[in-house]
Amino acid sequence: MKGSDNMRILGLGAHPDDLEINCGGTLARFHQLGHQVVMAFACSGDKGHFRIPPAELAEIRKQEAQEAAAVIQAKSIWLGYQDGEIVGESLQNRDIFIDLIRQVQPDLILTHSPVDYHADHTAVSRLVVDAAFMSTVPHLKTRYPALNDVPQIYFIEPYGGMAFQPDVYVISNPHIL
């Protein structure tokens, strides 16, 4: 990372609500400290309800996510997958993630832990790790130019703390302690 001044922070979640629930306070803290935050959503969240039809639900969740991002003046980016449709590593998927990282040029990425309960979460985590390094390879051509530095990656705590041993804690309000 460049240091504490004007960093670009990329939160990259599988679904709308993952970033807000699991690292929303941290993203807000980065914004509060003057850093630029981008929130990226891999899937539309279209299958996250028992009754609301997918197309209708995707619209609702996009609206909610954009309103949440606006609170911390974060730009939101949508990768266009449907829930449950990021299946492992493919060159096409990896290029989409490389391009996102090259577009945002983050100093730090917050994303899912490699061990998580949802297949979309673990797929995103794996793709981010592989794409972050590949984003610096100049002869690997995508729409955006290669980065000079590999972004740092922090894994966010999975729901229920599943197999997760944290070594960094973020205190959103230091006056609480």
Give the nearer residue to Zn ion in terms of CB position, either 117 or 133: 117
Name the nearest CA neighbour of 3 among 106, 107, 83, 128. 107
Least distance in angstroms from the C-beta of 17 to Zn ion: 7
Nearest residue (beta carbon) to Zn ion: 15
Q: What is the DSSP letter of 136?
A: T
Torsion angle defined by CA atoms of residues 149, 98, 72 and 66, in that order, rounded to the nearest 10 degrees: 170
* Pair of tokens at residue 102: 């090259």
Amino acid in the structure at residue 159: Y
* Pair of tokens at residue 137: 């390879």
Least distance in angstroms from the C-beta of 44 to Zn ion: 11
Interface contacts to Zn ion, rule CB under 5 A: 14-15, 18
Give the nearer residue to Zn ion in terms of CB position, either 21 or 70: 21
Give the nearer residue to Zn ion in terms of CB position, either 106 or 158: 158
Q: How far apart are CA 175 and CA 177, in angstroms?
A: 6
Give the nearer residue to Zn ion in terms of CB position, either 8 or 112: 112
Least distance in angstroms from the C-beta of 111 to Zn ion: 11
Least distance in angstroms from the C-beta of 169 to Zn ion: 22
